[in-house]
Amino acid sequence: MARNLGNTDRFIRILAGTGMFFAGLVKTGGVGCVFSIIGLILVLTGLTGRCPLCSMLGINTCRIRPPVGN
């Protein structure tokens, strides 16, 4: 899977994901658990530069395009 997230998108995901994760730790119950899981997903996609959902939707914010095959 090729990288499909640009640097700005990655930065925002890491910041928002970190905030959601820690908000989930503070909040108790099911809502806190959901916040923590979504936060972890955002941080992981931000760190790897790959988002399966964006790939399925055809969204690519990465400026570096993969080379076209022969």
Tell me: the pLDDT tens digits for 19-45?
Answer: 999 999 999 889 999 999 999 999 999
User: According to DSSP H, which parts of 1-70 are helical?
Assistant: 7-26, 30-48, 52-57
How many domains does the chain divide into? Answer: 1
Is 11 within a domain? Answer: yes
pLDDT of 68 higher than 60: yes
Residue 44 lies in a domain: yes
Geometric angle at alpha carbon 12, from 29 and 45, rounded to 5°? 70
Is 62 a member of any domain? no
Domain hosting residue 42, numbered range: 7-57
Is residue 46 in some structural domain? yes
Classify residue 67: in a domain, yes or no: no
The answer to whether residue 63 sits within a structural domain is no
Check pLDDT > 70 for residue 67: no
